[in-house]
Structure 1
Amino acid sequence: MLCKEGYQTRIDIIKAFQDASIHPNIQFEIECFETAYHLVESGLGITIVPENYVNASNHPNVHIKKLEGPMLKRNVYLVKNRSRYLPPVIHKSIETICAFHEGGF
């Protein structure tokens, strides 16, 4: 299972397979990682999902294997307007994101 065309995740994963000289057998194209989990739980294959999704999901019936590789990493940026009021919950969310990043996601 792989994201539909047009998603950067798909481009990164296909590139990683090409770099490893592996030709994946893609049977399903998905738009939602939750759908991928349900297909895996139903025994219909394997999928690659972002680490933050794995950490936030509760799917006890799937086996998770961490993949390492330079093509499987991506920079993500957090942008905010300095002059706009943000409620405390947003500031807490930003702190949480920054702490998660410092921990090495």
Structure 2
Amino acid sequence: MEGESYRELLEKVATFQIGETFKVMYVKNGSVDETFEKRRAMEKEVGLHINGVADYRQPKRLFGVMNINGRSIFGDYVKSESVWYQHQQNPHNYSTALSTRVGTY
């Protein structure tokens, strides 16, 4: 969901119903006016407008809220995984094995 303003987004979010636990997270995009207190206040306010049960410890679903170019955006939050880290552990460490961090040039 998105809105031209933060208030418009809150009105749209108020119509959203979810049948599982959730948590709202503010996604930082480098704006100077994004103070910690402002981000937490937005998370709380958006979460209070959702028809569902909030769970901060083990939510079944994560949502993100952010501001981009003056527009407010709300949607599913997908956390990126460090897949490269899983490949750091070689199954066999031989003296001739290359490290997984060796790049090609």
TM bucket, shorter chain: under 0.3
Higher helix share: 1
Which TM-score applies when normalising by structure 1?
A: 0.21
Q: What TM-score, normalized to structure 2?
A: 0.21
Larger Rg computed on CA atoms: 2
